[in-house]
């Protein structure tokens, strides 16, 4: 098979949750454990760090990988979803997995893994673990796919777990309250293994983590308390962070939630230092300042064009889009154009209630089965005073927005990672 034929096989035989939604979700670790046994537990050959939470997992994972790489470690990075190329999910020192390995993995092992009937995520996770082993990485940063307790990545025994925050998302699968979701996310806490909680949240949510950590005798560190003197200031191009040990720390990622991610990562660095990792201060400065070049991170308040200014962001739920909405209102522009689409299993109304009313909307749908019909999205949006036109494709919406926008206008592309995924190739 060619590389593209191999991807077609994977999508066809093992439907991807990101594309079709809950029907592709397989609850439990039985498949992951069976696959891991077939491949002789490759993740046991290197150190791992596990990153979960509702939002900020990707930024946190990439920042931590960049810092570890700049510290001299050979670093594996497993994240999801991808935006342009499947291989974005599996990187070593920022370089994507080789196409030949993807093809050979399927051809060589499909007779072994097909009887297990794994999901797309389960199989690609094991592919990543094997690739990291063959590349002899020192440590791999592993992002949770969905939830935590029953996520397929939860077979690893990490040096540290990180839970970035808790928000309402995937409520059909994880629970309809924040404590219920926190309980699922807390499933990645391991016995005697330190866990960093990025955002404390409500008292009820914090207590979930405290109780689980106590039960497993796992040291728990709340970043907001650990770095109580943390301060941040944002300008048009960078964040500037201040805290003990890292004065005048410049952050490349521009999104308004990045100060919270930064505090989480800096706390995680301190915990790793206590467990024996060698992380020079200079590596922290370089990792924060050059994370996109080091790791290939995309889609986090990423500027695609300057005149008119075009920005995209993959935030896809109310917990994440609240920061995008605030950031849009803080930008300077003559007219705001918003290209917007969502997945059909999201809480559309809670998101639309946050979005700026003083904007021209281009409601669209991404090229995946999970995409919400743009006409339905427009109907929901009208209830919240959001007016605009519908487009059957992201490319069509972008063309229209560019035609209508003046040089001093701002075009934002978002609402779903799938919308951003359709948009990015148009600007490369």
| Confidence check: pLDDT of 237 > 90 | no
CA distances from 311 to 255, 298, 367, 409, 427 (A): 11, 11, 20, 11, 11
Cβ count near 363 (within 10 Å): 27
pLDDT tens per residue across span 126-161: 999 999 999 999 999 999 988 788 889 999 999 999
| Confidence check: pLDDT of 345 > 90 | no
pLDDT tens per residue across span 287-336: 999 999 999 999 999 999 999 999 999 998 888 899 999 999 989 999 99
Token pair in block for residue 338: 């918003």
pLDDT of residue 146: 83
Identify the helix (H) or strand (E) that includes residue 35.
Answer: helix 30-38
pLDDT tens per residue across span 10-27: 888 765 534 444 444 456
Residue in this structure with the two tokens 């996310």, named with its chain if needed: 185
pLDDT of residue 169: 61
pLDDT of residue 170: 60
The vertex-114 CA angle with 109 and 120, nearest 5°, equals: 95
| Confidence check: pLDDT of 428 > 90 | no
**Cβ contacts of 303 within 8 Å, gap of 6 or more:** 254, 309, 310, 311
pLDDT of residue 19: 44
pLDDT of residue 171: 56
**Cβ contacts of 276 within 8 Å, gap of 6 or more:** none
Domains within the chain, CATH numbers bracketed: 3-295 (3.40.1190.10), 302-427 (3.90.190.20)
The average pLDDT across 242-252 equals: 94
pLDDT of residue 22: 44
pLDDT of residue 172: 65
> Which region among 248-252, 277-281, 319-323, 373-377 has the lowest average model confidence (pLDDT)?
319-323
> Which region among 15-19, 248-252, 397-401 has the lowest average model confidence (pLDDT)?
15-19
The average pLDDT across 175-186 equals: 87
For the chain, the average pLDDT equals 92
Could you tell me the pTM of the whole model? 0.93
Q: Which residues of 149-179 are buried (b: 16+ CB within 10 A; e: fewer)?
A: bbbbbbbbebbbbbbbbbbbbbeebbbeebb
| Confidence check: pLDDT of 68 > 70 | yes
- The answer to whether 155 and 32 are in contact (CB under 8 A) is yes
The percent of residues above 90 in pLDDT, for the chain, comes to 78
pLDDT category, 238, cuts 50, 70, 90?
A: confident
């Amino acid at each position: 098979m060619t590389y593209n034929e191999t991807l077609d096989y994977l999508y066809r035989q093992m439907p991807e949750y990101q594309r079709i939604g809950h029907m592709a979700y397989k609850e439990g670790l039985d498949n992951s454990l069976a696959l891991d046994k077939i491949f002789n537990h490759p993740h046991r050959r290197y150190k791992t760090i596990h990153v979960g939470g509702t939002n900020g997992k990707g930024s946190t994972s990439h920042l931590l990988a960049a810092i570890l790489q700049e510290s001299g470690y050979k670093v594996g990075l497993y994240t999801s979803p991808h935006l342009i190329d499947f291989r974005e999910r599996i990187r070593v020192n920022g370089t994507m997995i080789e196409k030949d390995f993807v093809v050979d993995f399927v051809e060589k092992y499909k007779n072994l893994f097909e009887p297990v009937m794994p999901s797309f995520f389960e199989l690609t996770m094991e592919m990543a673990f094997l690739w990291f082993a063959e590349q002899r990485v020192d440590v791999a940063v592993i992002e949770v796919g969905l939830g935590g307790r029953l996520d397929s990545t939860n077979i690893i025994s990490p040096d540290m777990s990180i839970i970035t925050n808790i928000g309402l998302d995937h409520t059909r699968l994880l629970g309809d309250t924040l404590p219920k979701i926190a309980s699922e996310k807390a499933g990645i806490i391991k016995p005697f293994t330190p866990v960093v909680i990025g955002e404390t949240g409500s008292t009820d949510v914090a207590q979930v983590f405290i109780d689980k950590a106590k039960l497993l005798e796992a040291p728990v560190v709340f970043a907001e308390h650990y770095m109580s003197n943390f301060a941040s200031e944002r300008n048009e191009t960078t964040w500037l962070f201040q805290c003990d040990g890292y004065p005048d720390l410049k952050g490349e990622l521009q999104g308004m939630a990045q100060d919270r991610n930064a505090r989480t990562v800096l706390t995680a660095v301190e915990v790793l230092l206590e467990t024996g990792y060698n992380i020079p201060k200079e590596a922290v400065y370089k990792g924060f300042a050059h994370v996109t070049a080091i790791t290939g991170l995309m889609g986090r308040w990423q500027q695609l064009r300057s005149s008119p200014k075009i920005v995209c962001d993959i935030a896809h739920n109310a917990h994440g889009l609240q920061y995008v909405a605030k950031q849009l209102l803080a930008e300077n522009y003559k007219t705001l154009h918003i290209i917007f689409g969502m997945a059909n299993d999201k809480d559309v109304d809670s998101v639309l209630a946050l979005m700026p009313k003083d904007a021209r909307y281009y409601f669209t749908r991404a090229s995946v089965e999970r995409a919400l019909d743009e006409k339905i999205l427009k109907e929901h949006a009208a209830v919240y005073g959001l007016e605009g036109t519908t487009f059957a494709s992201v490319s069509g919406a972008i063309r229209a927005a560019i035609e209508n926008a003046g040089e001093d206008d701002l075009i934002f592309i978002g609402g779903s990672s799938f919308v951003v995924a359709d948009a990015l190739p148009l600007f490369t």
